[in-house]
Amino acid sequence: MIPELYLVRRYIFRGGARHISFIAVVSCLGVALGVATLIIVMSVMNGFDRDLTDSLMKFNHHLRIESFDKTRLPRIKEILQAREEIEGASIFLQTQVFAKFDNLIVPLVVKGIDFTDEKELKIFSKYIKEDNHQDGFFVGQALRDKFFISDKIEFYPLGKKLKLKKAHIRGIFKIGLYDIDNNYIITDLEKAKSLSPNHILFLGVRLKDAFKVSDLKQKLKKDLGKGVFISTWMESNRVLFSALKLEKITMFIILSLIILVASFNIFATLSIKVVEKTKDIGILKSLGFTSKKILTVFSLQGLLLGFIGTIGGTVLGLGLCILLKKYPFIKLPAEIYYIKYLPVAINYRDISLIIFVGLFLSYVFSLLPAIKAARLSASEALRYG
């Protein structure tokens, strides 16, 4: 066995003073708890991010095309449907109405979907909770609950002269996105067109791979020329995703402080170990051990403690994440989060980064005591040991 590794094993697992072993155990536990906490929190945040992204991509179109000449949209639709990367394309409409709830006037977005398009109807049908009439509006469940909407809705269509109209509540939907469930009403495309001439037509495009939408946008800008405005789902939700990314980075930095604090325990353990083993250092140097080898012995002790803690924390964190994923038992208030249970998504790239941080901090905090031990001369160590 390499002498340095033999000494590392002997100093850690066969310490003469019991309090040294206890501090080593505390050091490992501190690192393990820090790593496990970081893995669990990052996995939960990835879960929320994944569920939100899935909700956005399943209901909203991946690419939205507007044209100054509305008659171009059907022709563009035919062109796009012939492309291999396109899963489907459909024309939809957006306008606005002012809904009347008792003494309140609330602006709502009206989205007109082409219900004759089987793919679009099938996608929207997944979110329908109630379907009571053949005509009228589908209302978000959150909007229905907020204003106690029953069978009909009163509203003023967007126009120069506001005239109060009534329509049946055709059904209730729940997307799982606060903005849509609270502010949208949905109806058939032709019905939406009849509400007001003040509306905007869009061509919504769904891709087989939603994350390749930026490349397709650049191609379409060249192919379709001027007079066409194209936006992607990433651009439409840029602020939201930027906020989520910033929150994730902030949480990573804050929770890494737990590992940092635990690394101080490793520093304290090795500092005491250097004092305890001062005489041993003198003897080893007298036998020909270089300062570099002494440095290696004590720095490897800190790295080994950090390794044991990091691996233990990784196993604990991953185990709890897998448990939460397989048996979701932590319930969340649906009216706030729009999901029933705490979501978990394990990202092994994040876990690799967490393991690296744990090992790196453990090694860095073991260097100072190790350098102090390496600088001791043989005569000084034997005199004061």
**Measured between alpha carbons, how far is 72 from 66 in angstroms, rounded to an integer?**
9
Report the chain's mean pLDDT, rounded to a whole number. 85
The per-residue pLDDT for range 1-57, each reduced to its tens digit, is 477 676 776 666 655 444 456 777 888 888 999 999 999 999 999 998 888 888 778
CA distance from start to end of the chain: 27
Within the chain, where are the H helices? Answer: 3-13, 18-59, 72-81, 118-125, 141-147, 178-183, 189-195, 213-224, 233-236, 238-276, 278-286, 291-326, 334-337, 348-375, 378-384
The pLDDT of residue 19:
46
The pLDDT of residue 338:
64
Is the distance from CB of 299 to CB of 363 less than 8 angstroms?
yes
The pLDDT of residue 385:
52
The pLDDT of residue 381:
57
Using 50 as the pLDDT threshold, list the residues of the chain that sit under it: 1, 16-19
The pLDDT of residue 4:
66
Residue 78, CA distances (Å) to 121, 222, 242 in order: 19, 17, 34
290: which 2 tokens? Answer: 């270089």
The pLDDT of residue 172:
95
Tell me the sheet residues that pair with 168: 152
